[in-house]
Amino acid sequence: MSTFSYDQLLTRAKKALPAALSSGERFQVPAPDVVIEGKTTILRNFEDIVGAIRRDPDMVLTYLLRELGTAGALEGRRVVFKSKVTAQQLEERIKSYVDAYVLCQECGRPDTRLVKEDRIAMLECDACGARRPVKAVKKAAKVEEAPLVEGKVYELMIQDIGKKGDGIAKLDRYVIYVPGTAKGAIVKVFIEKIAGTVAFGRVTRE
């Protein structure tokens, strides 16, 4: 019966490890390369991202579309979303996916595999042998206030005068009509009514 020293056994064990485990490289997911064209958003390096996390592109795309609440399609190496999506929004969703579906909760490594067990998705770690059911990381949705709200006061600059003599101010996508104001004036305006992207207000001293 042959015997091996500790160093010999360690060397043999290292050689038996999968390449991803023995490389020692720091796990990094490429930052989203985003271009917005009109009302669509293109994620140009989607293939690089799914390659880094070693997950099925269709599965990752389904997750992103659900989390972003938009439609989209895979076109070659890229994904085209049917709405405006920021790089930060994509980065946050990809991180959530990685936390839930890629990283091992025991050792923190990405060397995992997704397997189905009695219709339950399980994450198996090749590094430490840990197994756990997949649970999506849920975050509280951020409630973003509209840039213009009825009943609130805003300090605005009157940029122009309308045909009926009302001052015209602009905020974000809104055009705001303010009677009794002069071009160039900076006034506090109480928003009385909003109809689409047109608003009506009055000067206030509040």
Give pLDDT tens digits for 36-88.
Answer: 998 899 999 999 999 999 999 999 999 999 999 999 999 999 999 999 899 89
What per-residue confidence (pLDDT) applies to 72?
92
Tell me if the pTM is above 0.75: no
> What is the layout of strands, in order, in the sheet containing 78-81?
34-37, 40-43, 78-81, 72-75
Q: How far apart are CA 188 and CA 191, in angstroms?
A: 10
Locate the domains of the chain by residue range: 6-133, 153-203
Neighbours of 70 (CB within 10 A): 16
Candidate CATH numbers 2.40.50.140, 3.20.20.70, 3.40.50.150, 2.40.128.130; the one for domain 153-203: 2.40.50.140
> Which overall architecture, per CATH, does domain 6-133 show?
2-Layer Sandwich (3.30)
Per the model's pLDDT, the better-predicted residue between 153 and 8 turns out to be 153
Alpha helices by DSSP H, the chain = 6-16, 19-22, 46-53, 57-68, 87-101
Structure token pair of residue 203: 């000067």
- pLDDT tens for residues 109-120? 899 998 888 788
What per-residue confidence (pLDDT) applies to 147?
83
Structure token pair of residue 55: 């997950």
